[in-house]
Amino acid sequence: MDFSKPFCKWSFVAFAFLCLGIFLGLHLAFINLPPCGNHLWRQSNSLALALNFYEENMAIWLPRVDKRWEFSGVTGTNFPLYEWLLAVFYKIFGFSHSLHRIYALTISVASFFAIHHLFKAVNETNARIVAFVFLFNPLIFYYGFSALPDMLAILLILLANIFLNKLFHYFSWQSFVFAFVFASLGLMIKYSFVLWLTIPFFIQPIKPKFSLIVKTASPILLALLPTYWWYQYAIQLTAASGGLAEFIFTPRLLPKQLLSELILKTGLSIVPELFFGFPLLVLIIFILIKYPWYKNWNWIKTATIILMITYIIAASNNLLNHDYYLLPLLAPMLLLVAKLQNITFQNLHKNKKLILSNVCVILYLMPIWAFFRIAPTNWIGQNSEKFAIEKQKLELINPKNKRVICGVDETGCYLFYMLHQKGFPYYHKNELFTKRKGKMDIYLIEAINNGAAFLITNQLADLKNPLLTAVAEKPIEIGENLWVVPLSDIP
C-alpha cells in the first residue's frame, strides 16, 4: 500500500481536507474550555488583555491587565495585536470561551496554508510534508489551540516570508511593502521570531548573489525600526504601571548551577518529546544520517547558526520552565524536514516510492502522538463551567467592580480573569500578613489603603488570622473552598 499518495498524488484540496479534518476533529471536543493546562498564566494574561480592550478601551496602544494594584492597569506588553483582534471578535459575536479557541484554531489553519504556499518554492510534495509536520508538532497542537500571541506572530512572519520569497525572483514595491508590514507586526508581537525570517534564504533553487540577498533582506532590517520603537514605548508603560514586566521577553541568562538541569530537562526531555515529538524525531535522525548537511556551507548558514545560539543563550532561563520559547526554533526544524525530498527523490532513486511511503507512515503517527501527549494532561477532565457560578455571585456582591485582593493564585492572573475581577494579586499563603519590598505596611493594609474593598481567597487558614479579622466583615462562601470577605476602611 502506498501511504505517500496524499502527499504526492491527491489534489491539494483533498490533502488539506484530510489534515484539517484530523486537526480540527481532535480539538473540537474541547472547544468550550476556558484557559487551562500548561502555562495557564500566559493564557490568562492574554485573555485578560483582550477582555479589557473589549470592556474598557479599544485603544491598542493602552493594553490593560487585571492585576493592577493601585494603578490603571495599563502596562507595557508585546504589541497586543493578537489580543486586540480577539476583542474585535468579542464586539461582533459577544464574549465566550469558545470564541478564543476558534480564533486560535483559525490562526493555526491559516499558518498551515501559509507554510504550504511558502515551501511550494521547493516542490509540492515538500510543501505538504512541511505543512503536515508543522500542524501536528506537539507544541503547535497545544499552543495553536491556546491564547498565545506567538501563534499570530508566526502567521505574520510566514506571510512576510512569502513576499520575501517573491523579492528573490523579481523586485516589486508591492512585495517590498507587504514584507515590511508583516515582518514589522510579527516582530513587534515577538521579536524572537526573527529566526523564522531566515526561511526564504534557504529555499532558493540556486545560490542567490550577495547583492540580491542584501536587497531582499532590506524589508527585514527596516522592520527592526518599528519593533524597536514599540518596545521602547512598552518599557515606558511598564515603568508607569509600577514595574509590571511579565509580557516582554528580556534576555535572562541561566545561572551556571542550573545549566545541567537545562540540559537534562529541556535538552534531553522536552525537546525530543514536545519540540519534535518522537515520530518526527525518528525522521530527524534519519535526515541527519543520510543528508550531507555539512556540504555547500555558506555564510548564511553560519549567520543562522550564530543567531540560533545567541537566542538559546539569551532565552536559557526562560527555556528551563517555558516550553513555548522553543517556538522560534521550529523554523530551522522545518527547514531540516524540507530536506526529506532531497533524500527520497534525489539521493535514493531506486527505492524512492517505498522510502517515501515508509516516511509517511511515520508522519501519520504524529497526530496520534500529539493528541495523547497533549490532551490528557491539559484538556481531558477539565470543567468548562468552573467558577461560572462564583463569578455570578461576585458580580452581585461587588456590582460596582471595586478592586479586590485575589488569591491564593500562583499565576497572579487566572483567578482575576475567571472571576472577572481586578486589583491586588495574592500569590501564596500568609502573603497578606507580610510587607512587600519597599512598603511600610503589611500587604493587607497597603491594599485596603489603595482601594481594595474585598478579599477573595481560597485559604481557610488565612480567614482566621487576627490581622484579617480586625479589618474584615463576616466571610461569604461563594463556592467550593472560595470565600469573599468585605474589608473595612482603615481609620
**Average pLDDT, stretch 164-168?**
93
Q: What is the pLDDT of residues 170-209, one digit of tens each?
A: 889 999 999 999 999 999 999 999 999 999 988 887 777 8
**Average pLDDT, stretch 354-376?**
85
The three-state secondary structure class of 112 is helix
458 Cβ contact list (under 8 Å, min separation 6): 407, 408, 481, 482, 483
Residue 288 lies in a domain: yes
* Full domain range(s) for residue 420: 388-486
Check residue 401 and give its pLDDT.
Answer: 92
Q: Strand pairing partners for 64? A: 74
**Average pLDDT, stretch 75-87?**
95
pLDDT for residue 159 is more than 90: yes
Question: Virtual CA dihedral for 420, 425, 431, 436, nearest 10 degrees?
Answer: -150
318 and 420 together in one domain: no
Mean pLDDT computed over every residue of the chain: 89
pLDDT for residue 329 is more than 80: yes
- Which residue's entry shows cell 505517500? 4
Best CA proximity match to 40, nearest among 152, 144, 143: 143
Q: What is the pLDDT of residues 11-33, one digit of tens each?
A: 999 999 999 999 999 999 999 99
Q: What is the pLDDT of residues 96-144, one digit of tens each?
A: 999 999 999 999 999 999 999 999 988 898 899 999 999 999 999 999 9
Q: How confident is the model at residue 351 (pLDDT cuts 50, 70, 90)?
A: low
Check residue 215 and give its pLDDT.
Answer: 87
Best CA proximity match to 436, nearest among 412, 426, 235, 486: 426
Check residue 44 and give its pLDDT.
Answer: 95
Residue 491 lies in a domain: no
Quote the CA–CA distance of 51 and 419 in Å, as a whole number. 12
285 and 149 together in one domain: yes
How far from 376 is each of 145, 321, 395, 439, CA to CA, in Å?
15, 20, 33, 43
Cell output for 42: 500566559
Quote the CA–CA distance of 168 and 270 in Å, as a whole number. 36
Q: Contact, 273 vs 157, CB < 8 A?
A: no
What phi-psi label fits residue 39: left (phi over 0), alpha (psi between -120 and 50 degrees) or beta? left
Q: What is the pLDDT of residues 295-320, one digit of tens each?
A: 666 667 787 788 888 888 888 888 87
Quote the CA–CA distance of 136 and 276 in Å, as a whole number. 10
Residue 207 lies in a domain: yes
Check residue 7 and give its pLDDT.
Answer: 84
Q: Contact, 71 vs 241, CB < 8 A?
A: yes
Q: Which of 349, 378, 407 is the last residue of a domain?
A: 378
Number of H helices, E strands in the chain: 22, 5
The DSSP 8-state label assigned to residue 262 in this structure reads: I
394 and 363 together in one domain: no
Q: Strand pairing partners for 407? A: 426, 457
| 107-140: b (≥16 Cβ within 10 Å) or e | bbbbbbebbbbbbbbbeebbbbbbbbbbbbbbbb
345 and 450 together in one domain: no
Q: What is the pLDDT of residues 460-472, one digit of tens each?
A: 999 999 999 999 9
- Helix ranges (DSSP H) in 315-442: 316-321, 330-338, 340-341, 352-378, 388-397, 414-419
310 and 436 together in one domain: no
Q: Contact, 134 vs 116, CB < 8 A?
A: no
Identify the burial level of 243 via C-beta atoms within 10 angstroms of its C-beta, where 0-12 means exposed, 13-18 middle and 19 or more buried: exposed
Q: Which of 378, 396, 419 is the last residue of a domain?
A: 378
Q: How confident is the model at residue 249 (pLDDT cuts 50, 70, 90)?
A: low
For residue 483, give the H/E element and its range: strand 482-486
Check residues 390 and 282 and name the one with the higher pLDDT. Answer: 390
**Average pLDDT, stretch 398-419?**
94
Check residue 226 and give its pLDDT.
Answer: 97
Cell output for 365: 503517527
Residue 56 lies in a domain: yes
340 and 418 together in one domain: no
257 Cβ contact list (under 8 Å, min separation 6): none
Quote the CA–CA distance of 188 and 180 in Å, as a whole number. 12
Check residue 403 and give its pLDDT.
Answer: 96
206 and 252 together in one domain: yes
123 and 159 together in one domain: yes
Check residue 304 and give its pLDDT.
Answer: 79
Lowest mean pLDDT among 174-183, 275-284, 361-370, 471-480: 275-284
Check residue 277 and give its pLDDT.
Answer: 86
Cell output for 130: 512541511
Cell output for 4: 505517500
pLDDT for residue 246 is more than 70: no
201 and 113 together in one domain: yes
Peptide bond before residue 408 is cis, with ω within 30 degrees of 0: yes
Quote the CA–CA distance of 143 and 152 in Å, as a whole number. 11
For residue 479, give the H/E element and its range: strand 476-479
Residue 32 lies in a domain: yes
415 and 470 together in one domain: yes
Lowest mean pLDDT among 86-95, 211-220, 288-297: 288-297
Q: How confident is the model at residue 1 (pLDDT cuts 50, 70, 90)?
A: low
Cell output for 384: 468548562
198 Cβ contact list (under 8 Å, min separation 6): 300, 304, 307, 331, 332
Check residue 240 and give its pLDDT.
Answer: 81
- Which residue's entry shows cell 499570530? 152
211 and 298 together in one domain: yes
305 and 342 together in one domain: yes
The three-state secondary structure class of 39 is coil
Residue 470 lies in a domain: yes
Check residue 220 and give its pLDDT.
Answer: 96
Check residue 343 and give its pLDDT.
Answer: 58
How far from 485 is each of 225, 389, 405, 491, CA to CA, in Å?
49, 17, 10, 18
Residue 248 lies in a domain: yes
Q: How confident is the model at residue 346 (pLDDT cuts 50, 70, 90)?
A: low
Check residues 248 and 437 and name the one with the higher pLDDT. Answer: 437
Q: Contact, 134 vs 111, CB < 8 A?
A: yes
Q: Which of 324, 357, 378 is the last residue of a domain?
A: 378
Cell output for 285: 535522525
- Which residue's entry shows cell 490581622? 467
Domain count along the chain: 2
Lowest mean pLDDT among 46-50, 119-123, 160-164, 250-254: 250-254
Lowest mean pLDDT among 17-21, 216-220, 355-359: 355-359
Residue 383 lies in a domain: no
